[in-house]
Structure 1
Amino acid sequence: MTLTNTLRQLTDSFKLPPVVVEKFDGNPLKFPTWEAAFSSLIECKAVSVNEKLYLLRQHLDGKPKSLVENYLLLGTENAYLKARQELRNRYGHSSVLAHAFLKKLNSWPKINGRDHVGLRDFSDYINEIVTAQATIPDLGILNYSAENCKILNKLPVYIETKWRGIVASCQKNQISPSFAQFAVFLTNKAEEANLPMLEATRQMKDSSRYAKDHKPRKSSHLTLKTDVSTETENIKTDQKKSEAPTTCPFCKSSHSLDKCDSFKVQPVRTKKKFIFASKLCFRCGAGGHFAAHCKTEVKCHHCI
């Protein structure tokens, strides 16, 4: 029975698609996974040292690849072990991994209160860090309140307020919540924000909000029409004023001051005194405005 099960497992394993180990390009966050995959799937199948070295080179890219090329010339077991150790020191050291995790965490953009998917992605990354803390002691810095405040600044206000309430309750007992407790809290909030049964409700709210924000604006034709109508009325009013009979302010006859023969023969001093006393325009001789605001086109009646 045992032999039958073994043969069946071997047969099933032949049906599985081949496992592909991706090339390592120098991202420290991917190094632990890549190293485990290479050791279990590639290294164990190599027969000679040269095969190990060339397979190692084939599964590297960029700077990591340049790093191990010097060891290919040696072609010894010791050279292969040194190449692997060099990769661990440069990309898999605890301090290097901690720096990479913290750099990505600090560069994470602030999450909008309506970005439920973004909140869930951030929660997943926080849980990834919690898992890494078991093997990367330097990530223990996230248990300090100063680092926790930096993370809070990336969260929506309503989540930040609730976590501050939890911290306040813990401080009454003279304890501080750990980073793992914060991860559990954030996971719960992300799950609440992404409940499938409430997804339809959120979509309806988003649709109504979109419709409200994108209401068709009233056409500006009405305003333009009003402006044109006003301007037309002003023109008609001016025309009526110009067509209305004009009374000379000097001799009281039916003509304008610039056509008054009696006014023309007066001395300049008398003319100025009369215009000033009658509060007339020194440019056109009409009333109701002064020369600084006169828009009347003045022409000489003799030169026309």
Structure 2
Amino acid sequence: MDSETMDVTSEIRNLRKSRGGLRSRLCILQRELSGLLLEEGKREEVEEIQRAIADYATRIRSVQERIEAVMESGDDLEKEIEDAMALEALIRATQVEIKRYLSRLPIEEKEQSGKSVLTVSSNAEASKPLLPKWELPKFDGNVLDFTAFWDQFEAAVHSRNDVSDVTRFVYLRAALAGNALEAISGYSVTAANYPIVIEVLKNRFGKPRVIIERHILALVQMERCESTSAQQLRKLHDSFVQHVRALAALKKDPLKGQLSVAEILMAICKQKLPTPVRKRWEGKLTENGQQEDDLNALLRYIESCLEIEECLIEGSARERRKEKNSYNRNGQLSTASALHASVADHQKCVLCHGNHKIAECNDFTAMNVKSRWRFTKSAQLCFICLQAGHSAANCKERKTGNKECHELLRGKTPSDRERSIRRSANEDAFQVGMAKASCNSLIGLQIVLAKAHGPNGLSCKVTCLLDAGLCVRHRPRTQRGSYGAD
């Protein structure tokens, strides 16, 4: 144990010893008071003991706060606070007994006591009926109950100047349950963490936008009353008034026109959206730091999601038609001419017809995002790789899970240097080889008839292929053997 820990332990021991002495004196005063309260005409003695008890209570609170300040958070600190609050309850009960005793005295005795008018006024205040015990409500995480809970907790605990932040924290934890308690379970009971957990609770359960939306949905989804009995109608009326008054407290009173139709439609429309779409919308609001929803922005967002889904559907339909009308791939013929045509079409830009991909086209990158989407749909391009001939559902890049749509359709515009690098990479990637092509009839090849002569003087007629990708002439092995041709 280091010297600093020993000093703290010693200080706590001394403070507890001081507090114990004050509590002992307080107990002696309470025993003396109990005897006086059984007799009549002991007004002055009772008032003197009342002042002494108030003085000792103040000194005990001061020592208690010093103990809480030096102790580390944990079970020991919570036990200290619980013991201190039990003593506070005992002191309050004693003060109540004193006020009741003084209120029973006749007015003539009060006047003969020589007290000032201020004392008489204080006793008159003390003679008022005592309020019943106030129990703090429990909050379990229902956002509709947070406003009422916080108002009561703020009045009973948070706004009191004679209570430390550690004590407030203990009371707050005791008043929480369920999701609300789990939200602050990671914070230790310290004075520094108290304002932090208050902010955590307000950010999670006290957002006005979310609370207003929940009240609107509660009104819309309220069950229909099928009975005309007074009990059922009263239940419906009370539920309806409850939500309307709660909206009024949030400055959205429907009776004063503070709640717009757009806000009601917003709450209803969001409930009809698929869960993934709504999650992305809520995430967008959080990223932008918006406190309120915008109906126009929501409709624009739904439209953009719709365009993406339509591209997926149209691409899938085109792919199915293409597969249905195509020949069996095992029966396709291969020619070098088909290869050249395929490579040329692959490199051809569908917008400006230049020898580059559309992703490298200056005209395409100069468009805004909406225009790029419109052209992609009209040209029947895959919105993931911006190539023709297949749908986004069957795109190889989608199957690898790399991205949802091409970066140009998400708003990014590459620089000239990036386009140049990509164009060079694409040009180097092509290799000459044989390609397959399908057709509904026989393929005609370019040929020429010739006469081949062998070294032995024999000759024969041969057919020479003039296909652009053919590098050698093909002749039957029998002819090469018969006429001595190499």
TM range (shorter): 0.3 to 0.5
- TM-score with structure 2 length normalisation? 0.27
Name whichever structure is richer in strand by fraction.
Answer: 2
- TM-score with structure 1 length normalisation? 0.41
